[in-house]
Amino acid sequence: ERYSVLVLGDQLKPDISSIASSGTKNILMVESVKKCTSGKWHKRRLAFVISAMRHFRDVLKDEGFNVDYHEWADDFTSAINEHIEENDIEKLFVMKPVNREGAGFVNSLSNINSIDVEVTENDMFICPENEFVDWLNKQRSPLMENFYRTMRKTRKVLMDGKDPAGGKWNFDKENREKPKKELSYQEPPGFKDDKTTKKVIDDINDKFPDNFGKLNSLEVPVDRKGALRYIKDFIDNKLEKFGPYEDAMVSGNMVMYHSRASILMNVGLLHPEECVRMAEKAYNDKKVPINSAEGYVRQIMGWREYMAGMYIATSSKILSYNFLNCKRSLPSFYWDENLTDMNCLYNAVRSVRETGYTHHIVRLMVLGNFALIAGIMPKEVSDWFLETYEDAYEWVVTPNVICMSQFADGGIIATKPYASSANYINKMSDYCKDCKYSPHEKLKENACPFNYLYWDFLKRNRKRLERTGRMGLAYNLLDKQDPDMIKACIKKSKEFLESLKTGRQY
Ligand code: FAD
Ligand code: SF4
């Protein structure tokens, strides 16, 4: 038979639909230099994907597949053409990519070559695309919470008959503990880079020296066996405290009680459903409290599935959303932490540069919040997140950054802008105590920029925000402030923003 399956770098799932429905043992995998140079991706992100692809190749070979693997091919098209010609392939199977660009490319394959192309359904999510679209079509306002409850009920996850386990759908109130000094954070199980990974790291540092980020070692799993060991360790040792401390931030430890599993889920080494079921089982076995199990399930079966669905359901117009009409460019310190003396941002950027990771609240309430209240163009913020994180893919970055964190869709995904003064960061982190700015001051020399920028943000966007989302309280508070103080904040914001250097730095 002259069939073959094209497996893409974020489709490293052993029972992926394209392989399953093709019935063939012929596999094509391509490392595309063109793709790798389409952005200045974090070196760690590139190294992870390439190493995971090479490990997937080796496993497939061990299982008896014929893998035609192209290391550092110029681009996909030339490698695919070569494969088709050399093997006289009649039909190519490929699973539908989540990213729009990838899906478009796959659809165009039969034009490039006059071969038959069968695109199989993407099975990397719990909720198939058509089910999400059906749900969306029935909603007046498509809230994540409603989607999440539907998923819990239809998949019977953490359910007690018809009721949610623990008697409530939402335990967010119990999940806002401040970081405590006495907490200790266990490191994830050590993963030594093997020969394959070391070679990839050398290749990346050699081929893409100017890309963002530091890359000495990966120390994360790059195959299915390792991924399972990794998530089991999280469930056994961290999930218990995940819930209460999910919003807390500390200087010395970026991962804390988070799973750092998005990098694995996003390429198929873990399936979201198995992560959800493992958390549910830990609760049923009385190993973790309901607020932790529910919190984790909500992140994956709620937020992750919902964001993917919303991405697929929107068009590429999402990239031009700019509800708040922001015009500023991203400050240079987003690429180099040494260019800021704001301790929270310094810590966040440093972690991104060194590891490609920060947890959700650092993304949303430090990096995202600053860009939002400073009035940075949403597309620039989104491009930055896409290039600099180890787990970044367009389908997950654009709805999270453009819609959720920058409120650029005017409130479809987030019901109110995630804008805050220093108060929130001071409450939920240990950053402020080591900062040259004071989280309590608004106008003095050492006033925290988040404080005056926050009032400036509210004032600047009054017409757009007053009647949008749940902003009534914030505007009531604004009106109670001394007008001279607000004026001074606006002036200070202008001076501060104009003093920031902009443009890429590294
Ligand atoms: P945990 O706290 O352990 O959470 C468990 C899992 O839930 C994650 O692994 C992830 O798969 C899923 N999850 C939780 N929240 C979300 C969400 N909002 N959207 C999608 N999945 C979610 N996630 C990415 O995978 N890639 C990104 O590039 C990315 N960029 C983001 C940018 C911004 C501004 C924001 C606000 C969020 C972003 N997220 C992104 C979502 C979320 O922050 C990360 O998935 C999470 O922090 C990954 O770390 P973790 O695995 O330790 O998460
Ligand atoms: Fe960040 Fe302001 Fe706190 Fe400094 S004082 S760490 S800038 S929130």
98-112, 274-288, 306-320, range with greatest mean pLDDT: 274-288
Q: Which tens digit of pLDDT belongs to each residue from 167-220?
A: 999 998 999 999 988 888 888 888 999 999 999 999 999 999 999 999 999 989
| Ligand 1 pocket member 394 (CB < 6 A) | no
Rounded CA separation 275/152 (Å) = 14
Q: What is the distance, to the nearest Å, from the Cα of residue 52 to the centroid of all Cα atoms in its chain? A: 18
C-alpha pair distances (Å), 488 with each of 110, 369, 481, 484? 62, 21, 12, 6
Q: Per-residue DSSP letters for 174-241? A: GG-PPP-TT---PPPPP----HHHHHHHHHHHHH-TTSSS--S---S--SHHHHHHHHHHHHHHTHHH
Any idea which ligand is nearest the CA of 447? 2
Amino acid, single-letter form, for residue 365:
M
Any idea which ligand is nearest the CA of 431? 2
Q: Which tens digit of pLDDT belongs to each residue from 56-69?
A: 999 999 999 999 99
Q: Assign 112 a pLDDT band (cuts: 50, 70, 90).
A: confident
- Per-residue pLDDT, averaged over 315-333, amounts to 96
What domains can be seen in the chain, in order of their start residue? 3-120 (3.40.50.620), 129-186+238-313 (1.25.40.80), 322-499 (1.10.579.10)
| Ligand 1 pocket member 304 (CB < 6 A) | yes
Residues with CB under 6 A from ligand 2: 342-344, 422, 425-426, 431-432, 435, 437, 439, 448, 450
Q: Which tens digit of pLDDT belongs to each residue from 17-75?
A: 999 999 999 999 999 999 999 989 999 999 999 999 999 999 999 999 999 999 999 99
pLDDT at 506: 63
Element (H, E) at 5: strand 3-6
Write the residue with the smallest CA distance to atom 3 of ligand 2: 432
- β-partners of residue 116 are 91
| Ligand 1 pocket member 98 (CB < 6 A) | no
Q: Per-residue DSSP letters for 84-95? A: HHHHT--EEEEE
Any idea which ligand is nearest the CA of 426? 2
Average pLDDT over the chain, rounded to an integer: 95
Q: What is the number of the ligand 2 atom nearest to the C-alpha of 426?
A: 3
Contact at 8 Å (CB) between 242 and 218?
A: no
Q: What is the number of the ligand 2 atom nearest to the C-alpha of 422?
A: 8
Write the residue with the smallest CA distance to atom 2 of ligand 1: 258
Q: What is the number of the ligand 1 atom nearest to the C-alpha of 399?
A: 19
Q: Which tens digit of pLDDT belongs to each residue from 454-473?
A: 999 999 999 999 988 689 99
